[in-house]
Chains A and B, each alone.
Chain A
Amino acid sequence: MNIYPHLVACEHCDSVYRRCTLAAGEVARCRRCDAVLERANPLDADRWLALTMATAVVFLIANVCPIVRISLNGTYRQATLWEFAWALAQGSVAPLAIVAGLVMILVPLAQITLLTWVLSYARVGRRAPGFARALRALAILRPWSMVEVAIFGILVAIIKLVSLVDVTLGAGVWATAALMVLLTVIAHRDLSALWDQTEDESALRRGGAA
């Protein structure tokens, strides 16, 4: 089968263009439907990996520290991200606890793990074992990562409660806010460029042996 690496097809309307090199900050848009064809990635694999590690640290803090603390008549209660999800595990609503746990915690965790795996090989120009599957998984996971919605949900809940009880913010809420920003920076990128930046080692070996 012939392949045409110098061409690019618009994902939204199937128009075909000749690829052009983009300078940092440039975006190639489809002339027909105005969708983004390619976006220059200002991060090289090293910086990208460093930011991913930072995201992992922030993720850990966001999961361990309480997000909000409320007090009423001298008694108080505080909750972490996990307890938010767990609060839905009651009676007929229970399946929703899995969904909440996935979109707030597990999907971001999977994104961080997969990116760390892929990038730690990509920084030396190699494709990690399971590279194709990892990239496919990252593309599938992206729409289900909802940390920004969680932050907004926490804010709305605080406004809802503030007239009834005393509300104090915990360290977790700042970590979650930082997680929202960092996760957007590391996960909302054009992954297909990684194919061009890395070499398939097994193919190279096969080529060398032939």
Chain B
Amino acid sequence: MTRTPFASDLSVVGCHTCGLVCERVDTPGRDVQCPRCGATLHQRRPHGFARAWALLVAAIICYIPANVLPVMHSSLLGRGSSSTIMEGAVEFWTSGSYGIAFVIFIASVAVPCAKFLILGLLLFTSQRRSRWATRERAKLYRLVEFVGYWSMLDVLVVAVVAALVQFQGLTDISPRVGILFFGMVVIFTMLAAMSFDPRHIWDGEINGGVE
């Protein structure tokens, strides 16, 4: 055999927790535990597609209020103003901090939108057992896993600014509900990426692609 075997070809299963390769035992209706660490052994994460789709849809829904509602309210000498995420990035841009405006834009707009598209694409193609660009799709998944949590940047910036700027009566900055929705977008997309089992990307190639 010239091609590298899949675990299912050899009738083994790798433990997702400790990495031990165990014999595959089929006991319908009962969980099989890893003899070394006691974690439940799965060929694939259970209900991965359903969970990932549900979390992805939840994240996309939360992304709308996250962008429309204000994330911060600042009152300078009695004059109050609220700003959304995009307004924050634009403010940096117009004040000449192009670098920071770019970073904010990447972290709060480009990364979440790219995550929605990539996760949607991975879920869609894997469910159809597509054999298209498997290696590239596997790399996309690892990219999503790697950059996912950087979107939390906006939430923490709001936290730092709101904690510092509290001069009673003079200047005061406080968080607004938009940032809660944005935090939920980040958490939901991270959970969606974790629920999706990247081994599904290769499902179309098992048994040489022949059903």
Contacts and interface: CB of A to CB of B under 8 A. Distances in A.
Contact of A143 (B141, B142, B194): B194
| Residue of A93, A135, A144, A161 ringed by the most chain B CB atoms within 10 A | A93
Interface stretch (A43-51, A55-63, A73-81, A115-123): A73-81
Contacts of A64: none
A150 B175 CA distance: 17
A181 interface: no
A157 B160 contact: yes
A104 interface: yes
A16 B199 contact: no
Interface residues of A, number: 68
A16 B5 contact: yes
A139 B161 CA distance: 32
A154 B7 CA distance: 45
B111 to A, nearest CB: 12
Interface string B186-211: 01001000100011011000000000
Interface in B1-60: 4-10, 12-14, 16-23, 25, 32, 35-39
Interface residues of B, number: 72
B163 A99 contact: no
A160 B87 CA distance: 13
B198 A12 contact: yes
A56 B115 CA distance: 34
Given A13-B198, A14-B14, A8 B21 contact: yes
Given A35-B138, A156-B153, A73 B170 contact: yes
Given A12-B199, A16-B10, A160-B161, A149 B4 contact: no
B70 to A, nearest CB: 11
| Residue of B9, B135, B149 ringed by the most chain A CB atoms within 10 A | B149
Nearest to B7: A14
B156 A153 contact: yes
Contacts of B94: none
Given A99-B183, A136-B39, A1 B23 contact: yes
B152 interface: yes
Contacts of A13: 6, 138, 198-199, 201-202
A141 interface: no
Nearest to B154: A153
B25 A149 contact: no
Contacts of B20: 3, 5, 195
A91 B179 CA distance: 12
Interface in A61-96: 67-68, 70, 72-73, 75, 77-79, 83-88, 90-93, 95-96
Interface of B: 4-10, 12-14, 16-23, 25, 32, 35-39, 92, 95, 97, 100, 103-104, 134-135, 138-139, 141-142, 145, 148-150, 152-153, 155-167, 170-171, 174-177, 179-180, 183, 187, 190, 194, 198-199, 201-202
25 contacts: A1-B25, A3-B35, A8-B14, A9-B12, A9-B19, A14-B8, A14-B199, A16-B4, A16-B5, A16-B10, A77-B166, A79-B160, A96-B179, A96-B183, A99-B183, A100-B155, A132-B36, A135-B17, A143-B145, A143-B149, A149-B149, A149-B156, A156-B104, A159-B97, A195-B36
